Structure 1
Amino acid sequence: MTFHRMKDLRDDRDWTQQDVADRLSVSRRAYGAYETGERTVPVNVVITLAKIYNVSTDYILGLTDERKPYPRAKR
């Protein structure tokens, strides 16, 4: 996973780690560990980050350079 993307997305919004941690309902320390790669980022956190930043999970995971999210699945 390319953790720098999480930091870049956060920096693009001028948010602190605490700002993102609050949105994820995790501690700042836990979020900081996700951002630096010290802790594995849970799937639900990746999904929530994608929704917050309006990017694809593949972009956050470093699988594509395309930021645009995929169309939502029909239910």
Structure 2
Amino acid sequence: MIYENIRNLREDHDKTQKELADYLNIKQTTYSKYELGKINIPVEVFIKLADFYNVSVDYLLGRTKNK
């Protein structure tokens, strides 16, 4: 659910994995692994993504459907 949320938000905002990776100051391959659920997403990344998309961290975590 978490991984789907970050992928769906990225696609809804017409952003590439590379653009998000640059924003987060990480490699595109690392960001790809976040979306695939291959590695855990650090708390700091959740906060940055929530700020970028103007949603709550709870929304990213799937704890609420309210952005």
TM-score between the two structures when normalised by the length of structure 1: 0.86
Kindly report which structure 2 residues correspond to 1:2-13, keeping only aligned pairs within 5 A, or say none: 2-13=2-13
Unpaired runs of 5+ in structure 1?
Answer: 68-75
Unpaired runs of 5+ in structure 2?
Answer: none
* Rg (Cα) greater in structure: 1
Runs ≥4 in structure 1, deviation > 4 angstroms?
none
Deviation at 1:20, TM superposition (A): 0.3
Q: Give CA-to-partner distance per residue, 1:3-23, whole Å, 9 cap, x none.
A: 100001000111110010000
TM-score between the two structures when normalised by the length of structure 2: 0.96
**Percent identity (aligned):** 43
Aligned to 2:52: 52
Count of paired positions: 67
